Structure 1
């Protein structure tokens, strides 16, 4: 195991779900929140792998035990990813949840699909998927919910961007899906929106659901399931990591760090000390697409 001094910890949508009790897994109470973060290893056990991390800046995830929103953590060494020398601590703090998820989802989409879609495309994770799919020249349809978000993604070079608030959204969606033969939707919204997207897609298409932004369970037309052979699968990063061979996981972590400066760069909106948690959580939840809000334990409290 490793003990590390915390440096930075981002707030992610999964953290909000966990705090509300709506996340898919529960931890025994009392519990510290936070699924990822960065820090400096200050103490280790006698394991060789752990000792090699002494003094290193690392990213870590904590899906099963106490979370990362603390000044110090004691975690298994195999959950730590050492930073490359040119990776900034502020970018490395968000190394796991979004970048590794984006890498995994695009990798899945490219295996067996000519093209794909994604919902919540203006989010931090969504923008990473936009950039990575462009780099790999993999056709994708990106769905947002406001006109200004269409302009933002178009400025990034995205070819197919749809605003779900427009009157002709469903017609355009069907046309794009048939034109590109997009047979996988990477969905962060759930609710009836999953079924709405799936209905526009070709026969045999799949929805890969990884989020719950709507707060509602997925709803799909039975005709699509029975007669058009469509279906829904779930994606949880923790499972994907567990199923990967250690060498494959190290390769993925290396690839993700190479992309952190460009394709996987995280826009940071603000940093707060842990004591300002209520203000920080509220600020992030109001406009998630405007950038990450991070906890920085070493900051002095800025609010009474």
Structure 2
């Protein structure tokens, strides 16, 4: 269901999503609230293009020439959003029919909120996320119990004010994948906006259908983007502390006989992360300066209010 008069553009990013894309599109077609659907295809070569062309909902498609990741695709999509609100939705997610209406009503009733996050549930019924919290060491972690206000939204299914996102610098396309949602939420909070949760907006999520949590690529993006986010958004003392901790652990890991088998404890992977951060540091510091210019609240105030809760 689409409408030129709708208030929301639902952006679905897909990459090799042929196995689950139809379920997502079917769920969007069943929404009770009119909307525009924009699918960003990250150069899929698995038949996704044919599925999109044949689907009766006739979604608008932006097909990219290369895989830009979730973050890159969302950044490209934002340039094409002309509605006041933009929804982020994973291609392996299937929202309930009243999902969008519930999110829109919640955001409409919360004028100080720039984003509202959904309740994501795994196929077995367990709750994956009701929002994102900020840990004491600067990780974004999924909450699994309902809360009136959350630090950040889960990018798998959320509704945002499009102009607010643009005003704080948009989506960090260079992240490629992971932490683009928490970084965006952090900058929105620095600008004085709130982020709220709406547990009644339910979404069934396959989780990890396109990327594999626990894989070396997952850990590379996860570790790198957390540190880049801290350099962009956190108090300087926190960003420097966490970067130093990461580097120190990387240095001693080759000496440890009890080194965990997980990919994020692989010294070679961690060295690559550090190298990527060094190469990106000038740009990251410019982005930090931009966030400072638009900030209505201090970095320390945000950190003290949310870290470790």
TM-score range, shorter chain: under 0.3
Higher-helix-fraction structure:
2
Compute the TM-score of the two structures, normalised by the length of structure 1: 0.26
Compute the TM-score of the two structures, normalised by the length of structure 2: 0.26
